[in-house]
Amino acid sequence: MNIYDIAEKSGVSIATVSRVLNDSPNVRAATRERVLEVIRAEGYTPNAFARGLGLGSMRMVGILCTSVRDPFYAQAVGHVEEHFRRNGLNAILRCTGPTTEEKKQALEYMTQKNVDAIVLIGSIFCEDEDNSHIAAAAQQVPIIIINGHIDLPGVYCVTSDERKAVCDLVEALFRRHKKRILFLHDIMTYSCQQKIAGYRDGCALFDEPVDDALIVPVERNLDAVNDCIKRLLVQGVSFDAVVGAEDILALGAQKSLHRIGLNMPIIGFNNSTLARCATPELTSIDNGLEQMCTIALGVLDTLLEKKEASRHTVVPAKLVERDSFRAN
Amino acid sequence: MNIYDIAEKSGVSIATVSRVLNDSPNVRAATRERVLEVIRAEGYTPNAFARGLGLGSMRMVGILCTSVRDPFYAQAVGHVEEHFRRNGLNAILRCTGPTTEEKKQALEYMTQKNVDAIVLIGSIFCEDEDNSHIAAAAQQVPIIIINGHIDLPGVYCVTSDERKAVCDLVEALFRRHKKRILFLHDIMTYSCQQKIAGYRDGCALFDEPVDDALIVPVERNLDAVNDCIKRLLVQGVSFDAVVGAEDILALGAQKSLHRIGLNMPIIGFNNSTLARCATPELTSIDNGLEQMCTIALGVLDTLLEKKEASRHTVVPAKLVERDSFRAN
DNA sequence: TTGAAAGCGGTACCAT
DNA sequence: ATGGTACCGCTTTCAA
């Protein structure tokens, strides 16, 4: 069943059928009805590939993330997919893992598939040495980065003001006389750098020197965090509060410290389900993910209309207070 | 840049270029090299839509789930995407929400996009009244259901033996003289029905009557579970163990009971991150998700080779014991 | 308002 | 081993 069949059965040319299909105004109402009737009766739907060939688009966006199995990215993918779908854009999902090589391949794959845009989820896509693969892809198709920033033509970024949020948090902790704040993080992404910058900003507000021994990298899983905390204590590194660059890190620290019998404010990041599932519930910084996704969609809409869009938008991040903060 | 340009620059016909592109053996090595050289030099990549038009496939599978934002589904989506990608199949993701209407639309969307297969994640796609939309889609393209079962031609199912796993669990609890086991569940899917059947099987083993007041539906969030537990206690419904049809339900019960000061074995389902994040760590039934995904890929591979595949495969589910079980 | 026909960029069959 | 060419199914321009 193709457009020729429909044309024949309706007694019109394929051009007319095509016009009906594409809501062209240049079709007499009666003709349109007749064609639509045949289309309905035959249950016809146009071939997406042929349409893509003619139009150069299948109204698809590529979504890249390092792993949907990570709840934070899953959350983001969900939001992006939903926002886009509501605007008639569907998603090709591709997980890349952390290596630059795979990210590059994924980017090439998406451009070859003629997607209308590529959404990069997380600043982990921003390499600090070489982003030429992103630059190359951006020449073919708009690239949108959620919570990451690269200053490149064709690359549109939406970030969260995590720097300020951490700064405010540090300030609040200092006011409670918590001056040795342990900051746990995993991969040193753009986002992570912002958080650390915020940490330093906060210390600077109080003219307090930053003890680099308190900024500690650790793998993103409970066991690694537990080992890390124990090691720090054995090494005699003292601290009276913990901030995790991800909820899971904060949660790991919480469990570890609880086991040891230590009690102090613990704050996570992303305000994920984990935060509420922790005991006691974790205070967490919400980076405004959904708002970032809404803006991303707006940017893309603007671009698809061939208008210019802002290359960098920043949304606020805010602290969501829960037990792990109040109690201590 | 298209195949004609490459043909011209290499001094061959487009047919030859196409052969080179598709690794046809009928090309002289020297010719192949010359063409490849031009392709490399020009950075040419074939147009996916045109190729799709000719081949009738873009090597894409549709993945449907009610919500990737749910960690369990995210986990599944991640596994499916990964397995398929490694076999050169990419994923179009579409979340549907719980309504049949949206699921139907998603199914239609996928068939219209000429995907090579559709993967349905979770038995929530199996309606118990009317699955005609799935039957219809299955006539166009193979449908694979992960952890759900519908007996329909063209629909291939991989399920987990959750029934047996719950039965074994109930047996183990009975042996510890826990005979009033509260079973919390949310939507009554095929999977949920299996779990309840397992619950009854277990009781039957001990000739113990099932108290239907202990099989309680509740919304899938912490607050709802908390309210539910409190209500049950007020109503005088007594129980000495809790099994949740999802980890989040078990976790909610754990928090609620802990707050009240009650202590009893609590077991979740899916062995998600949540299980390890709970305090104390939750015992959980692992339904063998990854194995299901591996099998799903195998089935699809078989089908794409136009061979017959088994319409229903069952993988074992097993209990992963942690603190919430041992301690009590 | 409608139709004819030329693309879009490939694949694959049939010759040679 | 290679080339010519007829599709694949739709969009769009140009005429009428």
Please report, for chain B, the start and end positions of each structural domain, with discontinuous segments joined by +: 3-52, 60-160+289-317, 162-287
How does pLDDT run along chain B (328 residues), one tens digit per residue? 999 999 999 999 999 999 999 999 999 999 999 999 999 999 999 999 999 999 999 999 999 999 999 999 999 999 999 999 999 999 999 999 999 999 999 999 999 999 999 999 999 999 888 999 999 999 999 999 999 999 999 999 999 999 999 999 999 999 999 999 999 999 999 999 999 999 999 999 999 999 999 999 999 999 999 999 999 999 999 999 999 999 999 999 999 999 999 999 999 999 999 999 999 999 999 999 999 999 999 999 899 888 899 999 999 999 999 987 765 5
Residue from B69, B141, B226 whose CB has the most chain A CBs within 10 Å, to mutate: B69
Instruction: Tell me which architecture the domain covering B60-160+289-317 has in CATH.
Output: 3-Layer(aba) Sandwich (3.40)
State the fold for domain B162-287. Answer: Rossmann fold (3.40.50)
Q: Do A222 and B255 touch (CB under 8 A)?
A: no
Same fold, B3-52 and B162-287: no
H/E run at residue B307: none
Residue that has been written with the tokens 């069952």 in this structure: B314
Question: For residue B267, what are the β-bridge partners?
Answer: B243, B283
Check if residue B92 sits with its Cβ under 7 angstroms from strand D.
no
Determine the distance between B104 (CA) and D11 (C1') in angstroms: 29
What does the alpha-carbon distance between residue B91 and residue A92 come to, in Å, rounded to a whole number? 6
Residue B44 at interface with chain A, using a CB cutoff of 8 Å: no
Determine the distance between A44 (CA) and D11 (C1') in angstroms: 18
H/E run at residue A58: none
What does the alpha-carbon distance between residue A232 and residue A238 come to, in Å, rounded to a whole number? 8
B6 within 8 A of B31, measured Cβ to Cβ:
no
Check if residue A50 sits with its Cβ under 7 angstroms from strand D.
yes
A278 within 8 A of A327, measured Cβ to Cβ:
no
Q: What SS3 class is residue A269?
A: strand
B160 within 8 A of B287, measured Cβ to Cβ:
yes
Q: Do A74 and B74 touch (CB under 8 A)?
A: yes
Class in CATH terms, B3-52? mainly alpha
Omega cis (within 30) before B46: no
- What residues of chain B lie within 8 A of the CB of A74, using their CB? 68-69, 71, 74, 77-78
DSSP β-ladder status, B60-65 and A90-95: unpaired
Residue that has been written with the tokens 């500690």 in this structure: A216
Which pTM value belongs to this model?
0.94
B249 within 8 A of B268, measured Cβ to Cβ:
yes
DSSP-derived secondary structure for B188-257: --HHHHHHHHHHHHHHHHTTPPP-GGGEEE--SSHHHHHHHHHHHHHTT---SEEEESSHHHHHHHHHHH
Determine the distance between A16 (CA) and C5 (C1') in angstroms: 14
Q: Do B94 and A93 touch (CB under 8 A)?
A: no
Torsion angles phi and psi, residue A244, rounded to 5: -105, 140
